[in-house]
Amino acid sequence: MGLKATYKDIKRLLYRRIYMSKQKERSIADQFHIMYYDAFLFGKTWGESHFMGTHIKKFPFDTWIYQEMLHELKPDLIIECGTYKGGNALYLASLLDFMQKGEIVTIDIVDYPDKPQHPRITYLTGSTLAPEILSILDEKAKGKSSVLVILDDDHSCDHVLQEMEIYQRYVTPGNYMIVEDSNVNGHPVFPEHGPGPYEAIEKFMRTNTQFEIDKGRERYYMTANPNGYLRKK
């Protein structure tokens, strides 16, 4: 992204920074994040988010980042692990409609009733690690030049790490594997969760040289996916 700030803007920013250190900035963002996350217990925020009437378990900052990414990447195929009620699949399919290309395959172990139907969405029922699901995905991904993967199902560290190891093969160079909900286990929310996506990413990145963490996708300060936007080099 190019530098668009004028000398006057920079002066104003520096002045403001005297009063707000990086640390303070982080702490404000984290406090808001915790407040926003926990409010779902009272029927607010992400516990009551809908896209065109279907429940979607996403923060609006992340859905906006998704929109920007789809415009840039123009994926032929999106693989989503974790459908839930289909809210995110419908949102992504609607964005693909704008570009008049692409499809989504979304997998869930539970076949929720009344999922939204859309010509760009294929629903698969089963575990994301089941061989029969993976062989369908192998066929779907064959020959596709732009494939994006979203991991948003079982958030335990072991499961996510296994998924990352397997699903990385579908991601095309320059595209992304998005690991959702790495904010749990105290990053900064739900400290009681235990090792989750954040820890899986740490382990994956210790040996993997093909992916890099794109912190630019976290520029709205609050994301449910800290360190979770992984770009394939």
Ligand X SMILES: C[S@@+](CC[C@H](N)C(=O)[O-])C[C@H]1O[C@@H](n2cnc3c(N)ncnc32)[C@H](O)[C@@H]1O
Q: Kindly write out the interface string for residues 79-118 of this chain, putting x where it contacts ligand X by CB under 6 A and - elsewhere.
A: ---x-x--xx------------------xxxx--------
Judged by beta carbon, residue 6 or residue 184, the one nearer ligand X is 184
DSSP label at residue 104 = E
Q: 94, 122, 127, 208: which one contacts ligand X (CB under 6 A)?
A: 127
Please state the closest distance from residue 183 (CB atom) to ligand X, in A.
Answer: 12
Judged by beta carbon, residue 147 or residue 224, the one nearer ligand X is 224
Region for 226 from its dihedrals, namely left if φ exceeds 0, alpha if ψ lies in -120 to 50, beta otherwise: beta
Regarding 152 and contact with ligand X (CB under 6 A), the answer is: yes
Regarding 57 and contact with ligand X (CB under 6 A), the answer is: yes
Specify the pairing of strand 176-179 against strand 103-108.
Answer: unpaired
Long-range contacts of 63-68 (CB under 8 A, 24+ apart): 63/88, 63/91, 64/220, 65/217, 65/220, 65/223, 65/229, 66/91, 66/92, 66/95, 67/95
Instruction: Find tokens 């139907």 and name the residue.
Output: 117
Residue 228 tokens read as 């979770």
Please state the closest distance from residue 57 (CB atom) to ligand X, in A.
Answer: 4
Q: CA 89 to CA 82: how far, in whole Å? A: 10
Q: 77, 128, 161, 200: which one contacts ligand X (CB under 6 A)?
A: 128
The stretch near ligand X (CB under 6 A) out of 95-103, 146-154, 170-178, 188-196 is 146-154
Q: CA 151 to CA 82: how far, in whole Å? A: 7
Judged by beta carbon, residue 29 or residue 130, the one nearer ligand X is 130
| Positions in the binding site for ligand X (CB under 6 A) | 56-58, 82, 84, 87-88, 107-110, 127-128, 152-154
